[in-house]
């Protein structure tokens, strides 16, 4: 199994190389040369299996000979052992034909744990083998940073630095980043907003001497390993509702197009998915693009579902690659146009996207109303991202069972939930002392040289 760039101008890599590299040298994203398929019988056999068994079957064809079967099984087991629910991704019924896939039972209470916990295991195995030591730097609006810290804390050959915008993450998110005691964890509160943090990260990757000097590695949502881990729960949930013997639809709250793209891969692999519904908040670039065929950047307006407040949806490039029939040059041309503000998708590619995805958006009022209604009518307390999902899903309910992805635990966004319902959702018992733990954080200015110096000093220790 080899991986190629969506822009067609970078060398093909193995799974291990694609995972450790992240972004391709031509600026593109890695995708598998061909998407492996699972036979009807193989999918049917998943009925009643554990999440870990299904994970092995789904991901094994993608990893080539990077790990042996035994190694890979052991990594999967370790990755999900710390989850607070034996089913890992349990399904809850909301209405006769509407189900909620709870993806928030991992250590940081958001779906990013599914990918990050496994990435932590895979990085560690690869680094132990090569004897290398790396520095992971991530920028976060909250959930990615805590998930990365949780995955890499205490590992021998990794230092993890997370840049988050000072004063702009929720208290739970901040505490999850600042309370781990391991000395390889470094939480950096930067002056500025999330876009400033991302720009700083980009500058670090573009500075060759810094990048090579500290052996910089990234685990942001374009990393193929993360997308792959997210394919699994589409299979586990659909099979528990009767796939492959019947079709299932999914609604996915998304901003960066990572989670919904994993659903697209599941469908390519042979899972009978009817609709893939993209649900956005008021920052609706994906919904507008699917409605109009034109992708135009606008400013981000902060919302109560902050993990989807995104202007440039990085994983959308992967969908474009398939829409253009694998024509890397066409994707590269569109991405060039994006630098000057936007691009128009060609007629054929647009038709492909329309046939593959549908979409909807939820305003702030609709999101709050959904949190309130779903508590009153369905007994479910939803986080604001999941509320965006169920609101959009309602327009697509029909004869086919609909699964809406619940991407975070309501206790991670207590203010929005409290404003909508008057209830302050408690943290699960296993992390109830989060508010009592000591915090350790370094405040940094939005200054490349200062941050680069700090990182070099810390890893020299």
Ligand X SMILES: *Cc1c(COP(=O)(O)O)cnc(C)c1O
Binding site for ligand X (CB under 6 A): 110, 112, 143, 221, 253-259, 307-308, 385, 407-408
Nearer to ligand X, 308 or 455 (CB): 308
Using only C-alpha atoms, the chain has a radius of gyration, in whole angstroms, of 21
Structure tokens at 340: 């000057």
Least gap, CB of 142 to ligand X (angstroms) = 7
Nearer to ligand X, 230 or 236 (CB): 230
Nearer to ligand X, 151 or 408 (CB): 408
The packing angle between helices 51-59 and 69-81, to 10°, is 140
Nearer to ligand X, 18 or 308 (CB): 308
Least gap, CB of 109 to ligand X (angstroms) = 9
CA–CA dist 443, 429 (Å, integer): 30
Structure tokens at 250: 């999914």
CA–CA dist 233, 252 (Å, integer): 12
202 is a catalytic site residue: no
Question: Who's near 159: CB < 8 A, 6+ residues apart?
Answer: 133, 134, 135, 136, 184, 186, 458, 459
Least gap, CB of 284 to ligand X (angstroms) = 13
Nearer to ligand X, 375 or 406 (CB): 406
Nearer to ligand X, 135 or 386 (CB): 386
Residue bearing tokens 């939930």: 417
Structure tokens at 311: 């202007």
Question: Who's near 5: CB < 8 A, 6+ residues apart?
Answer: 24, 25, 26, 28, 29, 30, 31, 328
Helices (H) and strands (E) in the chain, counts: 19, 15
CA–CA dist 412, 107 (Å, integer): 12
Question: Who's near 86: CB < 8 A, 6+ residues apart?
Answer: none
Q: Do residues 383 and 420 make contact, with C-beta atoms less than 8 angstroms apart? A: no
Active-site hit among 112, 202, 297, 377 = 112
Q: Do residues 121 and 158 make contact, with C-beta atoms less than 8 angstroms apart? A: no
Least gap, CB of 410 to ligand X (angstroms) = 11
- Strands (DSSP E) contained in 332-387 are 342-344, 358-361
| Angle in degrees, CA 275, 280, 284, rounded to 5 | 120
Least gap, CB of 417 to ligand X (angstroms) = 13
Least gap, CB of 307 to ligand X (angstroms) = 3
Structure tokens at 243: 């796939």
Nearer to ligand X, 255 or 270 (CB): 255
Helix (H, G, I), strand (E, B) or coil at 406: strand
Cis amide leading into 244 (omega within 30)? yes
CA–CA dist 114, 254 (Å, integer): 16
CA–CA dist 407, 308 (Å, integer): 11
Least gap, CB of 136 to ligand X (angstroms) = 18
Helix (H, G, I), strand (E, B) or coil at 251: strand
Least gap, CB of 141 to ligand X (angstroms) = 8
Nearer to ligand X, 143 or 159 (CB): 143
Q: How many residues does the chain have?
A: 461
Strand partners, 442: 188
Least gap, CB of 459 to ligand X (angstroms) = 27
Strand partners, 102: 406
Nearer to ligand X, 38 or 262 (CB): 262
Which residue from 288, 313, 309 is spatially nearest to 299, judged by alpha carbons?
309
Give the residue numbers marked as catalytic.
Answer: 112
């Amino acid at each position: 199994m080899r991986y190629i760039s969506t822009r067609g101008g970078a060398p093909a890599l193995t799974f291990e190389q694609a995972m450790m590299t992240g972004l391709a040298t031509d600026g593109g994203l890695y995708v598998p040369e061909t998407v492996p398929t699972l036979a009807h019988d193989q999918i049917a056999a998943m009925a009643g299996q554990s999440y870990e068994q299904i994970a092995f079957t789904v991901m094994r064809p993608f990893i080539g000979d990077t790990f042996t079967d035994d190694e890979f099984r052991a990594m999967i087991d370790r990755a999900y052992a710390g989850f607070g629910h034996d089913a890992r991704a349990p399904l809850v019924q909301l209405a006769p034909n509407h189900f909620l896939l709870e993806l928030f039972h991992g250590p940081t209470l958001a779906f990013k744990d599914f990918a990050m916990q496994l990435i932590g295991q895979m990085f560690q195995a690869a680094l132990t083998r090569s004897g290398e030591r790396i520095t992971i730097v991530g920028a976060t609006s909250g959930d990615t940073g805590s998930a990365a810290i949780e995955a890499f804390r205490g590992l021998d050959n990794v230092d993890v630095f997370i840049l988050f915008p000072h004063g702009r993450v929720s208290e739970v998110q901040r505490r999850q980043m600042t309370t781990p005691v391991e000395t390889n964890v470094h939480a950096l509160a930067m002056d500025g907003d999330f876009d400033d943090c991302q720009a700083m990260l980009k500058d670090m990757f573009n500075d060759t001497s810094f990048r090579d000097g500290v052996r910089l590695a990234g685990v942001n949502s374009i990393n193929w390993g993360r997308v792959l881990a997210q394919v699994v729960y589409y299979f586990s949930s659909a099979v528990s509702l009767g796939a492959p013997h019947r079709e299932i639809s999914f609604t996915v709250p998304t901003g960066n197009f990572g989670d919904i793209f994993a659903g697209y891969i599941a469908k390519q692999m042979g899972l009978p998915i009817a609709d893939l519904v993209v649900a956005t908040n008021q920052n609706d670039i994906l919904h507008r693009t699917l409605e109009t065929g034109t992708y135009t950047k606008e400013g981000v307006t902060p919302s109560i579902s902050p993990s989807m407040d995104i202007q440039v949806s990085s994983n959308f490039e992967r969908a474009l690659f398939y829409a253009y029939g694998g024509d890397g040059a066409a994707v590269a041309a569109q991405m060039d146009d994006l630098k000057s503000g936007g691009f128009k998708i060609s007629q054929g590619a647009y038709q492909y996207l329309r046939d593959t995805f549908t979409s909807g958006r939820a305003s702030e009022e609709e999101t709050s109303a959904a949190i309130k209604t779903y508590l009153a009518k369905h007994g479910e307390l939803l986080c604001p991202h999941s509320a965006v999902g169920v609101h959009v899903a309602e327009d697509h309910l029909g004869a086919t069972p609909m699964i809406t992805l619940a991407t975070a635990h309501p206790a991670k966004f207590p203010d929005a939930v409290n404003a909508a319902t008057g209830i302050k959702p408690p943290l699960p018992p296993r992390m109830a002392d989060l508010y009592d733990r000591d915090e350790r954080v370094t405040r940094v200015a939005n200054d490349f040289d200062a941050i680069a110096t700090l990182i070099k000093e810390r890893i020299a220790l």
